[in-house]
Amino acid sequence: MNLVSQLQHHYEWTPNYRLVYKKPVPQGLKTFQVPQTTGIPGWIVFTYEGKVPVCLWISATEHKRLPCIVDERICGDTFIKVEKIGTLDFVVSDIWMYNSNCVFACSTFKQRYEWLSKLLSRFTTYIEGITIDLIHKSDLGDVPIRGYEEHSEETIGKPGYFVEKDDSQKFTITRLATPDCYEIIGKGYLRVPDIKTSIYLRSKGESFECRCIKHDDEFWDVVENIPEVEVNASTSC
């Protein structure tokens, strides 16, 4: 049994184990928000192989050892959830296990977030281009993001909620004389790719507000919830 299989068997854990789920945030829930990058989700695990401390990168598709500079005192099976944004660059998302103790189960996300900042600065370091760089989200900088994670400020041991980034904008739309032509003044025109969009826009009147997202240099797409249209086919003899 290889090392990764041993970890899976011992902790009843898999590389696909999730600490955040894509679902609506409950109304009224007080949350702590952090960005989620477009990086590859996975895990950095500090453990031992035989009597030698090792650093593993484990994702759904691969696992391999990585060069690192880390205090050996945290290598007693520490599982850190990360987002891989470069060959040796990893954004730290959360921590599940610390030296075989499931800290996830007995703390809030905000507590772990603040504690991780201290842990990383105290127990890890890196040499650019040589060893892995573990980046706390408070030091993220200008990195592309996929959306935001919302974590309960009070509940312990519970997964967070993922909310996709909304790149849409609200504009005032003007209907033109030509059928299915709509202008966003100074920005371009709306695309009307199908019958349901056509019917929806016609129902809005001569001038209205609408959420849109850029399609190309000239055109924009409507991103509102457009109802489906029933088309009744008829035949005549």
Task: List domains and CATH numbers for the chain.
Answer: 3-164 (3.30.470.30), 169-222 (no CATH)
Stated pTM of the model = 0.74
CA distance linking residue 159 with residue 165, whole number of Å: 19
Q: Is the pLDDT score of 114 beyond 60?
A: yes
Q: Which two tokens stand for residue 172?
A: 């005032």
- From 19-33, 107-121, 127-141, the region with the lowest mean pLDDT: 19-33
What pLDDT was estimated at residue 82? 98
**CA distance between the termini of the chain:** 73
pLDDT of residue 234: 45
pLDDT of residue 141: 87
Do 161 and 32 touch, CB atoms closer than 8 A? no
- Rounded to an integer, what distance in angstroms lies between the CA atom of residue 11 and that of residue 64? 19
36 vs 23: CA distance, rounded Å: 15
Residue 165: both structure tokens together: 């980034």
State pLDDT tens for residues 47-72.
999 999 999 999 999 999 999 999 99
- DSSP H helical ranges for the chain: 3-11, 109-123, 195-202
Q: pLDDT for 28-52, tens place per residue?
A: 899 999 999 999 999 999 999 999 9
Q: Which residues have C-beta within 8 Å of that of residue 45, sequence separation ≥ 6?
A: 7, 55, 56, 58, 77, 78, 79, 80
